[in-house]
Amino acid sequence: MDRMTRFFRCIAGLWITLVLVGCLGPQDATLNGELAWDRVELIAELDEPIMTIVAREGERLEAGAAVLQQDDRRVAAQLAQARATQDEAAARLAELERGPRPERISAAQARLAGAEAEADNAGRELTRLQSLQRRNLASEEALDLARTRRSASRAALAVARAELEELQNGATREELDQARARVAQARALTQQLNLTLERLSVRAPRAGLLDELPFEVGERPPAGKVIAVLLTGPAPYARVYVPEPMRASLGVGDAARISVDGLDGDFDGRIRRISSDPSFTPFESLTERDRSRLSFVAEVELEGDGLARLPGGLPVRVSFPGVSP
């Protein structure tokens, strides 16, 4: 075979290959990822010991189902004290709004009358001793004692008169405002402790699968630590990283096909979320040539039967019809 024949055959083979590639058309982009579930982490309200664990790992729970119970005796005692304080503040406010009882006013009037009589007696006694002292029939010490008694009786009279006027005039606006503020403060503390007491009984906020219980009965989890993990939602979703060249072609609601390792057939799905910001390397630090290394996190909902039994972490392959790699 001469050189020209081989040359023409190579040209023909290359032309056929190009034609076949053109006939296949654009290929759908396929991305690798994994299955994941929506997670709900339940947090310890206080660092109280775990008294009982009601549910088991792997158990499917309804919303509101009990998971575990922390020791609530300390909070219950604080709540009882707060309720007593609230009752006391409410009673004091009611007393101020109602005004003093007639018996208290009568008692104040009697004290005022007694103070007036004592002041009169002290005044007359001082006058008598002054007269005797002018005739050298009373000592200077006795006269000083009489003056002191008269001053004290006048002061007591002023106090008794002020107390009666206070009772007759009733509470001031400022006193009522302060009493109402104390009631509101006590009520807020009671509500807060009620909520804390309820949260020591840990319950599932949503229906889901109890995935993890990090602590055992008798252990004291620190406040703010995760004490239970729920996997929620009707089915898992596929988490994939979309490369930058594909990001502009994809959006929320776009269709997808998902293949799960270990299962025959594919699942239909749709993008439920795709990030607007790139992961990994920040955009500002890349040159134009390196921007294809950017990735955007996407979550793809799966549609079909039997999805609720799939565990998280299984490898998946996700393709988007009509989107080229």
6 pLDDT band, cuts 50/70/90, is very low
The pLDDT score that the predictor gives to residue 271 is 93
Q: Which residue's structure tokens are 């005797």?
A: 132
Counting the structural domains of the chain, the total is 2
Q: Count CB neighbours of 289 within 10 A.
A: 7
pLDDT digits (tens, 9 = 90+) for 182-219: 999 999 999 999 999 999 999 999 999 999 999 999 99
Per-chain mean pLDDT for the chain:
84
d(CA 115, CA 160): 7
The pLDDT score that the predictor gives to residue 283 is 53
Total number of residues shown for the chain: 325
Whether residue 165 is found in the same domain as residue 237: no
C-beta of residue 296 within 8 angstroms of C-beta of residue 289 = no
Q: Which residue's structure tokens are 């290929």?
A: 27
C-beta of residue 167 within 8 angstroms of C-beta of residue 105 = yes
- Domain membership of residue 2 (yes or no) is no
Whether residue 189 is found in the same domain as residue 91: yes
The answer, yes or no, to whether residue 287 has pLDDT greater than 60, is no
Last-in-domain residue among 152, 170, 195:
195
Sheet holding 50-53, edge to edge: 50-53, 66-70, 201-203
Range 293-316 average pLDDT = 87
pLDDT digits (tens, 9 = 90+) for 82-94: 999 999 999 989 9
Q: Give the tokens for residue 105.
A: 């006013």
pLDDT digits (tens, 9 = 90+) for 49-105: 999 999 999 899 999 999 999 999 999 999 999 999 999 999 989 988 887 777 777
If one compares 115 and 133, the residue with the highest pLDDT of the two is 115
State the DSSP H helix or E strand holding residue 228, giving kind and residue range, or none if neither. strand 226-243
The pLDDT score that the predictor gives to residue 98 is 82
Whether residue 295 is found in the same domain as residue 276: yes
Q: Fill in the DSSP letter of residue 138.
A: S
- Domain membership of residue 162 (yes or no) is yes
Q: Give the tokens for residue 316.
A: 């998946």
Whether residue 137 is found in the same domain as residue 172: yes
The answer, yes or no, to whether residue 11 has pLDDT greater than 70, is no
Q: Identify which of 299, 297, 295 has the alpha carbon closest to the alpha carbon of residue 237.
A: 299
Q: Give the tokens for residue 319.
A: 């393709």
DSSP characters for 22-56?
HHH-PPPEEEEEEEEEEEEEEE-SSS--EEEE-S-
Q: Which residues pair with 279 in a beta bridge?
A: 295
Range 104-133 average pLDDT = 85
What type of residue is 314? Answer: L
d(CA 168, CA 164): 6
CA 211 to chain centre: 23
Last-in-domain residue among 195, 228, 245:
195
Last-in-domain residue among 137, 162, 195:
195
Q: Count CB neighbours of 56 within 10 A.
A: 10
Identify the CATH number of the domain in which residue 251 sits. 2.40.30.170
109 pLDDT band, cuts 50/70/90, is confident
Q: Count CB neighbours of 34 within 10 A.
A: 15
316 pLDDT band, cuts 50/70/90, is very high
Whether residue 173 is found in the same domain as residue 239: no
pLDDT digits (tens, 9 = 90+) for 217-240: 999 999 999 999 999 988 899 999
The pLDDT score that the predictor gives to residue 200 is 96
Q: Is 263 helix (H, G, I), strand (E, B) or coil?
A: coil
The answer, yes or no, to whether residue 2 has pLDDT greater than 90, is no
- Domain membership of residue 50 (yes or no) is yes
- Domain membership of residue 290 (yes or no) is yes
Residue 151: domain span:
76-195
The pLDDT score that the predictor gives to residue 278 is 81
Whether residue 133 is found in the same domain as residue 242: no
State the DSSP H helix or E strand holding residue 241, giving kind and residue range, or none if neither. strand 226-243
Alpha helices in 200-309 (DSSP H): 244-247
The pLDDT score that the predictor gives to residue 38 is 93
